[in-house]
Structure 1
Amino acid sequence: MIKGLKAKLHFALNAFILIACAFTVGYFIAALFFKVTGQPPELLRYIISGFTGLLFLWAAVSLKPYKEDKWIAGMFDALENIAQGNFNVQIEKDNHGLLDELTARINKIAQGLGSMETLRQNFVADVSHEIQSPLTSISGYAALLENEALTHAERMHYIQIIQVESKRLSKLSANLLKLSSLDIGVTSLSLTKFRLDKQLQNISILLEPQWSKKNLLLDAELDKVTIYADEELLSQVWINLMHNAIKFTTEGGTIHIVLTRDTEKISCTIADTGLGIAPEDQLHIFERFYKVDKSRDRTIGGNGLGLSMVRKIVELHGGKVTLESEIGKGSTFTISLPVTD
């Protein structure tokens, strides 16, 4: 009985995979057809795609004697592997070259899904690492506080470290939630018209305690610019960039902010005379959890998410962010936004 049930389940699974593969191939065949004829109405597109999938399913069932064909066998094996989560597959071109584009599309899908899976695994590993570090500190110093022989100064020092690590963990969680909501489109842009130069002035004043403490000179050249954008999200862009400029500029250095506008774009540059970023690090600076100097994570802080958020917010506004930097001479971030009025 159990053997018969397993056979039925195996048959049902194979039938499901066959149907899924047939309709997937049917969808792409229809898509190729629409590239030539143009896109029909949505309902008609679904009907044609479904009908094409049915035809392909009929052909797959009817042409069993021909399944020994290398391309057909390879296609079915590849689609079955993809359905089971194995994306390391490649279909060889058929003998007659009739389905080269379909083969290329399926191979590209498998490659893309494999890359996404690798990114997902790396992301999970990075998040786990970032969370584990403050949790280890909190747990360790909390255990030390159980020692009744501690002096008041030692106890307060340990408590302060626990508070710092707790805030670090909280900030990491908030940034992850924000990036996630931006990625999946949950956070939509709340567009309003406001003065961008006033926003930059206000943020400079907000961060004054930080740059004054290091005796930095903050110099600003701000044209009067009105923009139609998400004021709250853009404020996070400037806060992140200015905070980084303050953090990586040595005492007595300079931060220079320039805001201009022409007929096509609004441009804001934030330049510092800080440590600078090496060319090999500039290639990855906007990647999540990437840190230029990992040896100073504890003293300087940060979790490698700020610049990822900057790029995401700027791209949501139809703009782009670029970086120019040289070791020992500082960094210049340039934000370009489209004119919206």
Structure 2
Amino acid sequence: MIKRLTGKIGLSLYFSLAVFIIFLITVLITGILVYLLMVFGVLNERIIQDFKVLTFITLIACIMIGTVTSGLASRRMLKSIRTFIDATNQLAGGDFTTRLRLNNPPEFKILSANFNRMADELGGIEILRTDFINNFSHEFRTPIVSIKGFAEILKDDELSKEERNEYLDIVIEESTRLAALASNVLSLSKVEAQTILTGREPFNVGEQIRQCVLLLHTKMEKKHISITANVQDYEVPGNKEMLNQVWLNLLDNAIKFTPEHGEIEVSMRQAEDKIEITFRDNGAGISAAALPKVFDKFYQQDTSHSAAGNGLGLTIVHKIIQLHGGTITCGSVPMQGTTFTLLLPASKKLPSTK
């Protein structure tokens, strides 16, 4: 508030000073001009004694000199405004490299800094939009092309039963992948459109996580992955369906990147008025360069897109946790594993049912 008030006073003072200087210059030049006219005899004694004539001459001189002085001064001030207008036109035209370098008055310097920050943000959004379109197109095109190709091969009557079944399995797998992508895009659109969490009710989050572990138990058995779940019963106020999606996404992600005979650990502990939930695996890990991007849309560390998934799961998880007033962070050491740590508001610890 004080900073804003100081800014307003500063700008008012700047323009007041400018007007005062213009007025002072006008008066000084007019005075000097009248004095010179008197010295050179242009203004005789009769004219000087006639108050009306002298006033009229002085007024005309002030208007003319004031107009010229104001025009010269305003050109400098309007130059900054024209620079700003040109920069906004370039920005509106899609040139996000446009930058302002206005230093005076101080408020124009602040205007430049805010404009440059806005240009940076818009440039970043444009890059994200382009990446989103490119990745989205790639993720949709790949399974469609695959399905089309194998469907054409299946028209061959000379295929053996084993080959036909193999190709049908691929078509089914690609169809499932396409359906999952469509489902994830819809889920992401839904959670991104939400600013207020709906369907909030207290429920046992520990029990929900245990149920998710059971749902994915078959997947873990196929890879001979062992899981340690140190999960207590805590009551959390939230959207039960959304948080269920979080646990399934994180567990499925851990299974995907954990090698055969690997280990996954899920733990939970009280952290003041929040609960801390940790998902840890001993997979290949994430590189330092990729770590800041793990929650970005369609981002996959495997640029070949050979791994299952479409890079939307963690984006959805991040948004859901934000809607619940919590935080999620990712830590990883290459070749040692990855850890996702979540903090959620907790109502209370429930008594053990054992």
Match of 2:309 in 1: 302
2:337 to 326, 330, 338: 330
The amino acid of 1:308's aligned partner reads T
Q: Distance in 1 between matches of 2:224 and 2:301?
A: 24
Q: Distance in 1 between matches of 2:130 and 2:181?
A: 18
Q: Distance in 1 between matches of 2:101 and 2:331?
A: 44
CA shift in 2, pair 1:279/1:103, >3 Å: closer
Q: Note the 1:113-128 alignment, pairs <5 A.
A: 113-128=122-137
Match of 2:5 in 1: 36
Q: Which has the higher contact order (CA 8 A, sep 6+)?
A: 2
Query: After superposition, what is the alpha-carbon deviation per residue over 1:94-138, rounded to whole angstroms, capped at 9, x for unaligned?
Result: 544442222322232222222212211111111111111111111
Q: Distance in 1 between matches of 2:290 and 2:252?
A: 19
Q: Distance in 1 between matches of 2:107 and 2:290?
A: 45
Equivalent pair of 1:220/1:257 in contact (CA under 8 Å): yes
Matched, 1:241 2:210: no
1:193 to 184, 192, 202: 202
Aligned partner of residue 304 in structure 1, secondary structure: coil
Matched, 1:208 2:177: no
1:339 to 340, 346, 351: 346
Q: Distance in 2 between matches of 1:94 and 1:324?
A: 43
Query: After superposition, what is the alpha-carbon deviation per residue over 1:166-216, rounded to whole angstroms, capped at 9, x for unaligned?
Result: 111111111112112222327843211100110011111111111122222
Give the TM-score normalised by the residue count of structure 2. 0.73
Equivalent pair of 1:195/1:227 in contact (CA under 8 Å): yes
Q: Note the 1:1-341 alignment, pairs <5 A.
A: 35-36=4-5, 66=75, 69-185=78-194, 188-295=197-304, 297-298=305-306, 300-340=307-347
For the aligned residues, what is the CA RMSD?
2.6
Q: Which moved more, 1:123-132 or 1:72-81?
A: 72-81
Q: Distance in 1 between matches of 2:262 and 2:165?
A: 33
Looking at CA atoms only, which structure, 1 or 2, has the larger radius of gyration? 2
Q: Distance in 1 between matches of 2:138 and 2:98?
A: 31
Question: How far did 1:68 drift?
Answer: 8.6
Q: Distance in 2 between matches of 1:332 and 1:103?
A: 41
Q: Which moved more, 1:126-135 or 1:76-85?
A: 76-85
Query: How many residue pairs were aligned?
Result: 284
Question: How far did 1:66 drift?
Answer: 3.2
Aligned partner of residue 289 in structure 2, secondary structure: helix
The amino acid of 1:83's aligned partner reads A
Unaligned runs of 5+ in 1: 1-31, 38-62
Equivalent pair of 1:225/1:261 in contact (CA under 8 Å): no
Aligned partner of residue 267 in structure 2, secondary structure: strand
Q: Distance in 2 between matches of 1:35 and 1:177?
A: 43
Identity among equivalent positions (%) equals 35
Question: How far did 1:228 drift?
Answer: 0.3
Q: Distance in 1 between matches of 2:78 and 2:195?
A: 46
Unaligned runs of 5+ in 2: 7-70, 349-354
